[in-house]
Amino acid sequence: MGPLLDVQPTPLALLLLGREADPKSERGVECPGDLPSPSDPDLVARARAAKEKLGDRVFILGHHYQRDEVIEFADVTGDSFKLAREAAARPEAEYIVFCGVHFMAESADILTGPAQQVVLPDLAAGCSMADMATAEQVAECWDVLTEAGVAGTTVPVSYMNSSADIKAFTGRHGGTICTSSNAKRALDWAFAQGEKVLFLPDQHLGRNTAVRDMGLSLEDCVLYNPHKPNGGLTPRQLRDAKVILWRGHCSVHGRFSLDSVREVRERIPGVRVLVHPECKNEVVAAADEVGSTEYIIKALDAAPPGSKWAIGTELNLVRRLAKRYATEGAGNKEIAFLDKTVCFCSTMNRIDLPHLVWALESLVDGTVVNRIEVDPETEKYAKLALERMLALP
């Protein structure tokens, strides 16, 4: 009998462990660092000292979904687009340390100058949604649209949460990027350029914007499944559709359900339900308010003291907001997480204090680790798509 433990890890297992590369996707790869131990009691002091030594040469960006221990060291916090713009507005910073996920660091590299280097403290911090649309799959989809005779009248609109390759595809084919705050403006613009929209990669943001904000019907939208021949759609379905949605979703926001909305309304009488537009359409339809992370933060800021809220977005942010508003001084607002079974974004959580300390101390020693660099050709077209977004009316 052969050795029972002689089992080779699968490529997927290695990817999940952050020990293997997947060159075909934007997902992160091996983190080669000699990381400090998570139990090192000096981690906070070490991060502080390294940051101080680097001074203005380093600028640390912290996405809203990052852990508290990391956010503490961010020079600015925000959503992915705000952070990319903040990076672009700091040409004096030689190093941009992006505490977020891979596609965000790519966008920062695209928008910053050639002398600036963008560092992602853990290369395994990818985004499952961005991974759901690869360059090959999207090129194949465009062939399917061409065969059906609709590519000439279709304008791609890609969510910020996509790889640089997908942004470049969008730029090359006359499309624009959008965020969760300007998706309606992006679709309005796209419909002024063509007859149909190919929305990548988040089906929920695309559907919610089309139906909730643009007054289209669910029947106007079709779902392109990259794992089925021809996307699982007939040429007739493609010709009749107004919006062709890519079959991608966020593994965090996609888990909130109608039941969680019903349950929280029973549990907390008078609660207002506020969710992110990456949630499913039925969840968005049942909520009181819908908006991006920046919208959620502003809405809670403006909410009257004593009001009660159930929030459907990533747990790190909701916890921070709950803590901030739990005291009388901050307005004493009751903030609950919409669904107790939904957990943190696992890839966002990969950036922890040991990785941040390692990245910063390496920079102090003159070594740039985990640099994220987009090739010039991809950058050129991805930038074109991003610039179209910046010019949206």
Classify residue 268 as exposed, middle or buried by CB count within 10 Å of its CB (0-12, 13-18, 19+): middle
Q: At closest approach, how far in Å is the CB of 211 from ligand SF4?
A: 20
| Residue ranges in 175-234 that form contacts with ligand SF4 under rule CB under 6 A | none
Quick one: 233 or 284, whose CB is closer to ligand SF4? 284
| Residue ranges in 347-386 that form contacts with ligand SF4 under rule CB under 6 A | 347-348
Other CB atoms within a 10 A radius of the CB of residue 47 amount to: 24
Which of 112, 128, 134, 182 is the binder for ligand SF4 (CB under 6 A)? 128
Distance separating alpha carbons of residues 353 and 356, to the nearest angstrom: 5
Encoded amino acid at 109, one letter: D
Contact of 119 with 355, CB cutoff 8 Å: no
Distance separating alpha carbons of residues 200 and 203, to the nearest angstrom: 7
Quick one: 278 or 379, whose CB is closer to ligand SF4? 278
Which of 43, 58, 99, 127 is the binder for ligand SF4 (CB under 6 A)? 127
252 is a contact residue toward ligand SF4 (CB under 6 A): yes
315 is a contact residue toward ligand SF4 (CB under 6 A): no
Distance separating alpha carbons of residues 109 and 117, to the nearest angstrom: 7
| Residue ranges in 326-345 that form contacts with ligand SF4 under rule CB under 6 A | 345
276 is in an annotated binding site: yes
Contact of 165 with 26, CB cutoff 8 Å: yes
159 is in an annotated binding site: yes
Query: Per-residue x/- mask for ligand SF4, residues 7 to 36, rule CB under 6 A?
Result: ------------------------------
User: Which one of the spans 126-134, 167-175, 237-245, 262-270 is the region binding ligand SF4 (CB under 6 A)?
Assistant: 126-134
Which of 117, 237, 251, 307 is the binder for ligand SF4 (CB under 6 A)? 251
104 is in an annotated binding site: no
- Encode 357-378: b = buried (16+ Cβ within 10 Å), e = exposed: bbbbbbbeeeeebbebebeeeb
Q: At closest approach, how far in Å is the CB of 239 from ligand SF4?
A: 31
Q: Are strands 95-99 and 334-337 parallel, antiparallel or unpaired?
A: unpaired
Q: At closest approach, how far in Å is the CB of 127 from ligand SF4?
A: 3
129 is a contact residue toward ligand SF4 (CB under 6 A): yes
Token pair 């949605």 is at which residue? 245
Element at 249 (helix H, strand E): none
Which of 101, 177, 264, 273 is the binder for ligand SF4 (CB under 6 A)? 101
Supply the angle between the helices 102-111 and 164-172 in degrees, to the nearest 10.
50
Query: Per-residue x/- mask for ligand SF4, residues 55 to 94, rule CB under 6 A?
Result: ----------x-----------------------------
Total binding residues for ligand SF4 by CB under 6 A?
A: 13
160 is in an annotated binding site: yes
Within 8 A by CB and 6+ apart from 144, the residues are 224, 230, 231, 233, 238
Distance separating alpha carbons of residues 393 and 83, to the nearest angstrom: 21
178 is in an annotated binding site: no
In the complex, the residues that contact ligand SF4 under the rule CB under 6 A are 65, 101, 127-129, 161, 250-252, 314, 345, 347-348
Binding-site annotation: residue ranges for iminosuccinate:
63, 80, 159-161, 180, 276-278, 293
